[in-house]
Structure 1
C-alpha cells in the first residue's frame, strides 16, 4: 500500500490518496486516511489524474528512426501522460489483423498504457480489426489528398456505420483537399507561411461539417481530431461531435513561422493569431472537449527542407501537460479545466471508465506536480527520439512524479523515466 498525503486536487481540496500498488487502484480518497504502508508527503503539490493523450504517432513499426514505442512512451511518462492512443499510419498501416498484431507486439515496450486505433483504406479488413483489442477507428483521413490513407466519402460512411455497430468511436482528420488554395503552391519554398495559405481554414470547416453530418445519420460517435480553427470547433460541436485541439494550435500561430521555419509545418497548419486566440477561448470556456498532442516526430534532417518538401508533424507528448499547467499557473486556465481536457474528458469520449479521475476504485494513474515549478522548455532535455520541440524557450510546469496503475514510471527528481515496461493495452477495457 502507498498513501499520498496532503495533496491538493484540481478542485482545491486537500486530501490523502491511498493506493493498492499490487492492484494498481486507488482504494481511498479522504482528509484523514489511516496510516498504511509507505507514504509520500505532497504538501503544497498538485495531484492530477494522468493525461490520456488520445492522438499520438509513435511511428513504430516502419519509421523507427523517428520514434519508437520505448522512446515515445518514455517521453510521455516524463510529461505526465499515462495513456496514449496510437494512430494507424505506420508501415504497414494498421488496417488488418496482421498489421494490428505487429504493432501490438512492439507496443509491449511501452512505459505507459496504450490504445491502438485501426485505419481505414480501400483494402482495410474491418472483421480482423474489430476481432482485436481495437480502441477506435482513426485517425481516418476524410477527403485529404496529402497521404496514402486519405479516403472518399462513401468509404468513410461505410467505416462510420461499421464502427457504430461495434460501439467504437471514429476519429476523423477532416480537411477537404478540393478547397486547398492551389495558387499558394507557386510561392517559394522558403515562404513558410505558404503552407498555411495552401491548407485553408475553409477546407477544415467544410470537411468537419460533412464528417459530423455522416456521423449523425449513422448515430455514430464521431470525434474530430486536431481542430485548428474556431469554425472547425463550432462545426464539430453544433453537429454533436466531440473534438480535440493540439498544443501547437493552442500556443503557436502563423506569426511563429519566422522562428520555426519548416519545423512549424503540420496538418492542419498553423492559423492566424486571431484564430489561435479564438480557439484558446473555446478551450478555456469548456467548448472544446480534449487537448491531444498529435505527437508526430520527424528527424531534424527530414524537417530541414523547403516548406513543400518537409514532412508534416511536430513532437508534443512530453510538453502538452506542462504547457497547460503553465497556462493555469498564469490564470489563463483553471486547474479543473486542465484536468478535464487531459484526463476526465478523454476517458469519457473513449470509454476508458477506469481512468481519468482521482477517485476510489479507479486506476492509480497519477501525476504529482509543484504548480510553481515553472521552467524553460528545451529540446535537449526531452526524451523523444527526435530531440527537438516547436516550443523551444517557452515555459512549462513538469511533473515531479508520474504513476501508471500505482507504478512510478517517472521520477522528476532524477529527470529520468524508471526502467521497466509498465504499459498495458486498454482496448479491451472500453465501454461497449
Structure 2
C-alpha cells in the first residue's frame, strides 16, 4: 500500500509505503500509483491503550474481545492491554490460557496483564507471553483484585527477579535472570477513604443519593498516599512501576518525583465533580471524578509533559447494571473508542499539539512498555496507522459507538474520528466497515 501526501503529527507532508506489514519507507515523494491520496488529512501512528477491561472470560454480557476490539479499531486504537480482573482472574497459567484463546477474536493487537492475589502463581504467569502485572492494588477492599501491602511487596520482589520469557527448566540462572516486568498499580489507599461523608453509613441512600457522594468518599488524599507507597516499594526493589489512572495533580507529581510513570484517563481529563449530577451513577468510577480545580491541574500536567500517557480504563457495564442506587452500581465507564477522537478535537482547537497527542497515545506507551515496533511512523515499524480529516469533527453519541454497552459518559461532546485504521498494514476499519480480526499478542513476536 502507498499512502501519498499525508500530514504527519509533526506537520511534515510525506508519502508512506507499507510492505509485509511494516512501514517500508517514509519520504517526501515515493514512486508508484498511490492507493490512498491523503492530501489534507493527517496520518497518525495507531494508539496504544494500555488499560482496558474487555470483560472476557466471565462477563461477556458487558463486552467481548470482538466488540471491544472493534470499538478500539473504530477509535484509532491498534493495540490494547487487557487487565486481569475477569472470571477466572488472570492470576495463573490456566487463567492466562483461557483469556488468550478468547483474545484470538481481537481486531487489534493486544497484551494480557497478569494479576496478583493471595492465590496467584507467578511461576506459571511468567512462563506465558505476559505483558505486565496490571491493576495491582496496594490495599484490600479497593476492588476485585485487591491485595494487601505485604503481598504487593512480594509481587514487586518477584518481578525484579523473574524471567517471564524463560520456559520451565532446571536452569536456576535462567529462571532467576533479572527481567524488567512492569507493575501497573491501582493507587488508592482504602484506609484513607472518608467514611464521615454524610450518607455513607446509609449505603448511598439508593437511587436518589447525591451523585457526588462517591467522589467525596474516595478522597483525593487516598491516591497520593498510595502512589508514594507504591513508588517507595517498587523503586526500592528496582522494579518498574506504572501508576494507573492518576486522577489528581498530587498523585501525578508523586509518581513523577519517585521515578514512576503514570497515565491519565479521558474521563479524569475531561470530566469533574461538576458533571456528577448529570452523569449520576454512570459517572461512578475508581478513582472517582475530582474537583474542577484538580481536573484543570491534571490537564496542565498532561499538556506540559509530566503525564506519560493517556489510557482509558475502558470498563463497560450495561445500562441495567448502572441504573441502580449509587452504592449498588458498578464502577467504570467505556472509553476505548472515544480517547483519540477527544484528544484530536483538543488538537483541532489548539489546546494540545498534534505531536503531544502522538506522544501521549503512541510514542510514550511504546517506549515505556518496550514495544520497539509500535508507536511511531518510521521505517521498520509496524504499519499501525490511523488516517483522519482534522476538520471532520462530529458529535459523540453512544448509539453510534461499537462497545457492547452502547453508552458513553461523553455524550454530546465533539470528537474527530478516524476514517481508516490499519493494524500491521491490514485494514481493520474503514469508513464504518470492519476488516478481519488480525490481532495478535505483542509479546509473542
Calculate the TM-score normalised by the size of structure 1.
0.96
Which residue is 2:418 aligned to? 399
State the distance in 1 between where 2:335 and 2:289 align: 15
Instruction: Provide the rounded CA distance (Å) in 2 between the counterparts of 1:72 and 1:386.
Output: 10
The alpha carbon displacement at 1:6 in A equals 0.3
Which residue is equivalent to 2:12?
A: 13
Matched, 1:88 2:52: no
Give the corresponding residue for 2:167: none
1:344-385 CA distance string (max 9 Å, x none) = 000011111100000000000000010000000000000000
SS in 1 for 2:191: helix
Aligned pairs for 1:186-265 (under 5 A) are: 186=201, 188-189=205-206, 190-265=209-284
Unaligned runs of 5+ in 2: 162-178
Alignment of 1:312-327 (within 5 A): 312-327=331-346
Gaps of at least 5 residues in structure 1 are none
Secondary structure at 2:48 match in 1: strand
What is the alpha-carbon distance in structure 2 between the residues aligned to residue 48 and residue 161 of structure 1? 38
Aligned partner of 2:184 in structure 1 is 171
1-structure distance, mates of 2:328, 2:270: 25
- Contact kept, 8 Å, 1:144 with 1:174, in 2: the verdict is no
Q: Is the 8 A contact 2:16 2:26 kept in 1?
A: yes
Could you tell me how far apart the structure 2 residues matched to 1:297 and 1:51 are? 19
The 5-angstrom pairing of residues 293-312 of structure 1 reads 293-312=312-331
Are residue 32 (structure 1) and residue 48 (structure 2) matched? no
Asked if the contact 1:66/1:298 (under 8 Å) is kept, the reply is yes
- Please tell me whether residue 376 in structure 1 is matched to residue 373 in structure 2: no
Q: Which residue of 1 aligns with 2:441?
A: 425
Q: Residue deviations 1:131-167, cap 9 Å, x none?
A: 0000101111111513231111111111112122232
Distance 1:163 1:51 in 2: 27
Question: Following the alignment from structure 1 to structure 2, what is the Cα–Cα distance between the partners of residues 311 and 146?
Answer: 13
How far residue 267 of structure 1 moved from its aligned partner, in angstroms, is 0.1
Aligned 8 A contact 1:134 1:428 in 2? no
Corresponding residue number in structure 2 for 1:124: 120
- Distance apart, 1:115 and its partner CA: 0.2
Question: Number of matched residues?
Answer: 422
Map of 1:416 onto structure 2: 433
SS in 2 for 1:389: coil
What SS does the corresponding residue of 2:325 show, helix, strand or coil? coil
C-alpha contact 1:366 1:403 (8 A) present in aligned 2: yes
Aligned-pair RMSD on alpha carbons? 0.9
- SS of the residue corresponding to residue 328 of structure 1 reads helix
Q: Tell whether the 8 Å contact from 2:135 to 2:145 is kept in structure 1 after alignment.
A: no
SS in structure 2 opposite 1:243?
A: strand
Task: Quote the Cα distance in structure 1 between the aligned partners of 2:103 and 2:444.
Answer: 15
Q: Give the structure 2 partner of residue 108 of structure 1.
A: 104
Distance in 2 of aligned mates of 1:217 and 1:108: 37
Distance 2:253 2:11 in 1: 31
Scaled by the length of structure 2, the TM-score of the pair is 0.94
Matching residue of 2:50: 54
Instruction: Give the match for residue 148 of structure 1.
Output: 144
CA distance in 1, matches of 2:219, 2:154: 27
